[in-house]
């Protein structure tokens, strides 16, 4: 029986390592999402700050502000797309973590079931064993 248990123990170790890797990937995906969200917010702040000033409303100033605003809007659209992609990555990583945890739990349950069956077999073997009467002498 011990020979059959070795593969389950190996599988459990592998599944545990895989779960750790998947959790690390999920953490990285969450960090990527936070980074992309911060970048999008920063670009939105910059776009809000690039507005024409009333006192210096020259044509060149208006053109420059419009140009920078257009570039910032393009960057904001790209940041929104990257943020959306990062959010999808977070969802996929969370799903992968759930699957890895499910796999690890299944192996743990198989090991627990194997140990329970072994314990029951040992109990039955002890019950069926002939009584072992020992003559005990009290200390003299």
Biggest CA pair distance of the chain: 118
Reported pTM:
0.68
Write down the mean pLDDT value for the chain. 86
B/e letters for 1-36, b = 16+ CB within 10 Å, e = fewer, are eeeeeeeeeebbeebeebbeebeebbeebeebbeeb
**Closest by Cα among 7, 1, 4 to 107:** 7
CB 43 within 8 A of CB 75: yes
Fold designation for 2-128: Helix Hairpins (1.10.287)
Query: What is the DSSP track for 92-112?
Result: HHHHHHHHHHHHHHHHHHHHH
Please write the tens of the pLDDT for every residue from 25-73.
999 999 999 999 999 999 888 887 776 565 555 666 777 777 888 888 8
Q: What letter does residue 27 receive in the DSSP assignment?
A: H
Please count the other Cβ atoms lying within 10 Å of the Cβ belonging to residue 49: 10
pLDDT at residue 10 in the model: 92
């Amino acid at each position: 029986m011990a020979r059959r248990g070795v593969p389950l123990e190996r599988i459990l170790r592998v599944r545990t390592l895989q779960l750790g890797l998947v959790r690390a990937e999920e953490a990285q995906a969450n960090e990527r999402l936070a980074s992309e969200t911060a970048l999008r917010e920063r670009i939105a702040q910059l776009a809000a700050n690039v507005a024409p000033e009333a006192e210096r409303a020259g044509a060149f100033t208006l053109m420059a502000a419009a140009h920078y605003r257009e570039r910032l809007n393009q960057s904001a659209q790209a940041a929104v797309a990257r943020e959306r992609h990062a959010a999808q990555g977070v969802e996929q990583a969370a799903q992968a973590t759930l699957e890895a945890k499910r796999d690890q739990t299944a192996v743990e349950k198989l090991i627990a079931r194997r140990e329970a069956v072994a314990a029951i077999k040992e109990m039955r073997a002890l019950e069926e064993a002939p009584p072992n009467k020992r003559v005990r002498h009290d200390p003299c």
